[in-house]
Chains A and B, each alone.
Chain A
């Protein structure tokens, strides 16, 4: 796009671009993009700054562009002195790790198998798998099934049902079909490698970047998931994930009162609910922010693998 500043010799008046180095079109494009980027980013920045600002400073209002009046971590202290928070952080972290590993293992092996379309039966399995994307049993039948499996109100209901993920199955299957060079596999076979060796020595090392990308996506999904707790566990506070605690802090005034009371030990006045909400939001965002640089590096590739034909 280096061709932008094209001169039009027959136009007698100089264009804005020639006079000032830019024109309205450029200005509009930049303003539009910057405005939208600010809308996307500023709320998080605002909440972050507000959550570390002393309350006296915060009530004055303002745009919260920079922490003024010192950094105050009392809201975080309040949160971490509450046992619901610490338990739920542990639950969320463990289910994220276990769930991601399980789902990666099960989904990737099946995706590899199904990518071998010449093996009898694989096309049928593929259709069976993709069909579940559009047709599900629904909430109550699922609940009844989990009841029969004795999964209701257990930790594993937040992990096991996500063992096979249809979205990432499609992405991985397309990756194995189109992005891994077939010649390499054939070369390994000619050199005397059997199917087992091809998978472990050729396929897995080649798919490391893809597995990392999908793994990050899965991890974010597990971290953000509160649905399985809400539907299939509900009211078992030792199992609640962090996303659910966050939801309760945002919507449940009883929970908020309990958290505020916890602050009475080391704070003269009870912290305002709004500030505590912000601090909780930041805690929920933090792990995602930590992996975001890696996510961003991979995810464009990640979703395009499934969309672009080679």
Chain B
């Protein structure tokens, strides 16, 4: 199979995954026995002490249904839903912050979440793999077990405990970082950028620490197994240096499963976003999702879920396209 055919096929699968994801997102809330328009009208009616006339209610219902894309039968709704998302990435207005469009809210929050979580995930992965590699390659040396100990120590701490402890330690007891982060709005200047970095450091460090331990442990286990491989022994008997054997032999081969793990954790950054952004009051998607879930803001939830689907599918796509570059055995199938 040619490279182009492979890429085309993989991208085809990507769009199929997105399509199925969007369809499920569309269907799930509609299978629930609650009608948000009825609920909304009921709220208004009770606030207005039932003074709304039947015509006014019909008119309101029609307006709301158009606004929220709930007009017509299921299929008409589905077609217009897909059209709106695919062509204008339009999820309608937020219920809570009416009339602010959901897409604008998401696009405002997205750079924050991606900036913090992607960076932290990648740094944790890089550091964890480096430490894990050294710990695994030199697993017969006593000093290397100290490195593994770092992983064993960090890995089981639940993130919320780690985050709150770090906040207490580095923002309250030793006030190095701000207790509650403040972020500048408007045009980005170098000064504001520095402020953003400074305010993002503490949540970033906790995220790196949380992801670090697992990466050490899994890379260590992979590296230990790889050092036993016949080709590593042979490289040693060829006289290849420790550095060559560690990087080109052990690391290159142990890396493959770790890349998959990285892709999965990159796809899951929005899950991590929720807790981090709550604890550090960080203005990203997680915070928006939480507010939306509390306030029954369906459109915002739709938007956030769609973004998550896109993120997971894209991470999978990137890894699938990257993998053949790392493993020749896949390239030639």
Do A and B originate from a single complex?
A: no
Seen from chain A, the residues whose Cβ lies within 8 Å of a Cβ on chain B are none
